[in-house]
Structure 1
Amino acid sequence: MPARRPVRTAATVAAVALLAVTAAGCGDSGGLRGAGATPTAISPAKLWPDLRPAASPAWPYDEGSSETVKGITVSGDDIRGVDPVTVVRAEIASDPADYGSKGAYHDTATRMKECGASGGGGAGCPLLKPYYRDLTGDGRDELTLGFRLYPTNQTALRVYTVDKHRLVQVLDDNDAIIGVELAGRTVIVRSPAGISGYEYRTTWAWDPQRKTMVFSRDEFLRTGKGHHTRRPLLSASDSASPSASASASAGA
Structure 2
Amino acid sequence: MHRSRLALTAGLVLSAALLAGGCGDPGGLRGAGSTPDAQAPTRLWPKLPPPSAPAEDYGTIESLPVKGVDVPGGDLHKANPVAVAKADFDENPGMYSRSDAVYKETAEQLAKCDTREGGDGECPVLNAYYRDLTGDGEDDLIVGIRLAEGHAENLDIRAYAVEKRQLTQIMEMGDAVLGVELAGHEVIVRAVSGMQGYEYRTVWSWDAHQKTMLPTTDEIVRSPNAPKRKPSRKPEPAASARPLPTPSDSR
Provide the TM-score with structure 2 as the length reference.
0.66
SS in 1 for 2:138: coil
* RMSD between superposed Cα atoms in Å: 2.9
Instruction: Supply the distance in 1 between the matched residues of 2:106 and 2:50 (Cα, whole angstroms).
Output: 42
Amino acid at match of 1:209: H
Aligned to 1:40: 35
CA distance 1:144–1:42, shift in 2 (3 Å): farther
Which residue of the other structure, out of 68, 89, 114, is the alignment partner of 1:71? 68
The Cα offsets for residues 164-223 of structure 1, whole Å up to 9 and x where unpaired, read as: 221100001011111111112211111111122100111111011221111211101012
The Cα offsets for residues 77-135 of structure 1, whole Å up to 9 and x where unpaired, read as: 10111101111211243258958686423222332314441416x42221111000001
CA distance 1:42–1:193, shift in 2 (3 Å): farther
Instruction: Supply the distance in 2 between the matched residues of 1:195 and 1:145 (Cα, whole angstroms).
Output: 28
CA distance 1:167–1:224, shift in 2 (3 Å): closer
CA distance 1:184–1:67, shift in 2 (3 Å): same
- How many residue pairs are counted as aligned between the two chains? 191
Bigger Cα displacement from structure 2, 46-55 vs 188-197: 46-55
Instruction: Supply the distance in 1 between the matched residues of 2:106 and 2:45 (Cα, whole angstroms).
Output: 53
Amino acid at match of 1:178: L
Instruction: Supply the distance in 1 between the matched residues of 2:48 and 2:178 (Cα, whole angstroms).
Output: 38
SS in 1 for 2:203: strand
SS in 1 for 2:190: strand
CA distance 1:58–1:67, shift in 2 (3 Å): closer
* Per-residue deviation, 1:66: 0.4
Runs of 4+ in 1 over 4 A off after TM superposition: 36-39, 95-102, 224-227
Instruction: Supply the distance in 2 between the matched residues of 1:164 and 1:183 (Cα, whole angstroms).
Output: 26
Bigger Cα displacement from structure 2, 68-77 vs 103-112: 103-112
Aligned to 2:118: 119
The Cα offsets for residues 3-30 of structure 1, whole Å up to 9 and x where unpaired, read as: xxxxxxxxxxxxxxxxxxxxxxxxxxxx
Calculate percent identity across the aligned residue pairs: 39
Provide the TM-score with structure 1 as the length reference.
0.66
Aligned to 1:107: 105
**Structure 2 residues without counterparts, runs of 5 or longer:** 1-30, 228-251
Tell whether 2:82 aligns with 1:82. Answer: no
Amino acid at match of 1:145: V
Confirm or deny: 8 A CA contact 1:73 1:165 kept in the other structure: no
Which residue of the other structure, out of 46, 54, 57, is the alignment partner of 2:49? 54
Larger radius of gyration: 2
**Structure 1 residues without counterparts, runs of 5 or longer:** 1-35, 228-252
Confirm or deny: 8 A CA contact 2:93 2:103 kept in the other structure: no
CA distance 1:169–1:48, shift in 2 (3 Å): closer
Instruction: Supply the distance in 1 between the matched residues of 2:121 and 2:206 (Cα, whole angstroms).
Output: 34
Instruction: Supply the distance in 1 between the matched residues of 2:115 and 2:171 (Cα, whole angstroms).
Output: 24
Aligned to 1:136: 134
Aligned to 1:194: 194
Confirm or deny: 8 A CA contact 1:130 1:144 kept in the other structure: yes
SS in 2 for 1:85: helix
